[in-house]
Every structure is written in structure tokens, then in C-alpha cells.
């Protein structure tokens, strides 16, 4: 009889333990669901913040000069306007806006000056760049720069050669102008 009571008690105990286990499981699942749905709410908010950042990105990132809703893919080598993928006209090394691509194709371009820069003299090329900007801003004279990199095997330095190209008809005039504005370094 006592054996029977003991076994009955044991069964009750097992049922009780199972009941508690199920209770804990349900509570855990409930808690997990709560956290999950809350997390999902946060996730739902996430993209809102992200798109806010994207809006800021759009504002920070340059847009096309011609299409303010399109991202800039690069600058025209002549006028330096930002260009989207629809506006970019390219030859193998340079990109141009539609107008200056025609300018590029319709003219003979000659080298005005090449300046070599090395890691020790990285700013040498700026002389050419500021000259280019100056004549563009003052006279809308189209010119473009080409940078060519080489590795000097002897001393393992990366050297760059910055060359300013000008239209054939501008060469003499600009050469004179460049020599007169160029600071005499040697
Ligand atoms: Zn242009
Ligand atoms: Zn565009």
C-alpha cells in the first residue's frame, strides 16, 4: 500500500515537475517572442534610420551637375563638373562632360608641360593644376591633365608625371603665360 502511495506520489511529483518545466518553457518562449517582436520593431525602425543616413549621404555625396538626383561618378577633365553615369563620356584614360567630350574630339592637343613628382616632392604637380584652374576660371580655356605613374626600379619609388594638355591654338600663348606665372624653382 505504501509502495502504491509512494509510486503515486512519484507520479504526482513527475507530473508536477513536468508542469513546471512546461511553465518555464512557455515563459521562456513568451519572453523570447517578446524580445523577438521588440527586436523586429527595432529592425523595422532600423531602415528608417538607415534611409535617413542615406538621405544625408545623398546630400553629402556630390550629385551630377546636370541631374541633381543622380550620384556623381567623376569629374569632367576640362571643366571639373560632377557627372553621373548618364553624362560621363570617356576615352581610355579621361572622362568628360558631353560638351567637353566634343571639345576633346574636335581639337589637337599638345603637351604644355610635364612635371615629375615623387613621394619626396608630391606637391610639384599642383603648379600645373592651379594653372589649369586659373585659366579655366578666367578665360574658359579648355585644358586637361593626365597623370602617368611609373615605378622607379632602382630606388623603388613611385613617380608620377603630370602633364597639362592644351589645344594646339592655345599652346604658344599659354606657354608664355605659364612660364611667367610659374614660380622660379631652378
Ligand atoms: Zn566639362
Ligand atoms: Zn547627369
- Beta bridge partner(s), residue 95: 90
Phi, psi of 82 (to 5 degrees): -70, 140
Beta carbons of 39 and 46 less than 8 angstroms apart: no
Say how many Å lie between the CA of residue 48 and the centre of ligand 1.
37
Give the pLDDT confidence of 61-85 residue by residue, as tens digits: 689 999 999 999 999 999 999 999 9
* The residue to which cell 619626396 is assigned: 120
Determine the Cα–Cα distance for residues 6 and 132; give it in Å rounded to an integer: 101
Q: Is the pLDDT of residue 60 over 80?
A: no
In Å, what is the CA distance from 48 to each residue of 34, 44, 143, 161? 22, 7, 45, 47
Say how many Å lie between the CA of residue 92 and the centre of ligand 2.
20
Give the pLDDT confidence of 80-98 residue by residue, as tens digits: 999 999 999 998 889 999 9
Tally of CB atoms within 10 A around 160: 16
Residue (of 140, 119, 128, 124) closest to 164 by Cα position = 128
Say how many Å lie between the CA of residue 59 and the centre of ligand 1.
22
Say how many Å lie between the CA of residue 101 and the centre of ligand 1.
7
Say how many Å lie between the CA of residue 117 and the centre of ligand 1.
26
- What mean pLDDT is reported for the chain? 81
Q: Considering the entire predicted model, what is its pTM? A: 0.64
Q: Is the pLDDT of residue 9 over 50?
A: yes
Give the pLDDT confidence of 106-149 residue by residue, as tens digits: 999 999 999 998 888 878 889 999 999 999 999 999 999 999 99
- For ligand 2, a single-atom ion, the residues with CB < 5 A are 64, 66-67, 70, 84, 86-87
Helix (H, G, I), strand (E, B) or coil at 109: strand
Ligand with the closest atom to the CA of 98? 1
Phi, psi of 133 (to 5 degrees): -65, -40
In Å, what is the CA distance from 121 to each residue of 113, 116, 178? 17, 9, 20
Say how many Å lie between the CA of residue 79 and the centre of ligand 1.
4
Say how many Å lie between the CA of residue 106 and the centre of ligand 2.
22
Amino acid at each position: 500500500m505504501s509502495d502504491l502511495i509512494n509510486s503515486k506520489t512519484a507520479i504526482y511529483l513527475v507530473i508536477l515537475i513536468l508542469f513546471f518545466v512546461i511553465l518555464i518553457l512557455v515563459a521562456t518562449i513568451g519572453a523570447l517572442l517578446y524580445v523577438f517582436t521588440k527586436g523586429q520593431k527595432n529592425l523595422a525602425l532600423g531602415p528608417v534610420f538607415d534611409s535617413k543616413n542615406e538621405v544625408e549621404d545623398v546630400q553629402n555625396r556630390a550629385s551630377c551637375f546636370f541631374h541633381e538626383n543622380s550620384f556623381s561618378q567623376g569629374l569632367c577633365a576640362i571643366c571639373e563638373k560632377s557627372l553621373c553615369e548618364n553624362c560621363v563620356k570617356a576615352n581610355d584614360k579621361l572622362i568628360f562632360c558631353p560638351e567637353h567630350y566634343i571639345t576633346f574630339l574636335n581639337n589637337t592637343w599638345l603637351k604644355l608641360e610635364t612635371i615629375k613628382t615623387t613621394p619626396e616632392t608630391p606637391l610639384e604637380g599642383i603648379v600645373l593644376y592651379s594653372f589649369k584652374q586659373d585659366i579655366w576660371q578666367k578665360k574658359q580655356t579648355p585644358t586637361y591633365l593626365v597623370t602617368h605613374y611609373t615605378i622607379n626600379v632602382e630606388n623603388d619609388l613611385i613617380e608620377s608625371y603630370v602633364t597639362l594638355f592644351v589645344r594646339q591654338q592655345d599652346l604658344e600663348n599659354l606657354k608664355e603665360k605659364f612660364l611667367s606665372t610659374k614660380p622660379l624653382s631652378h
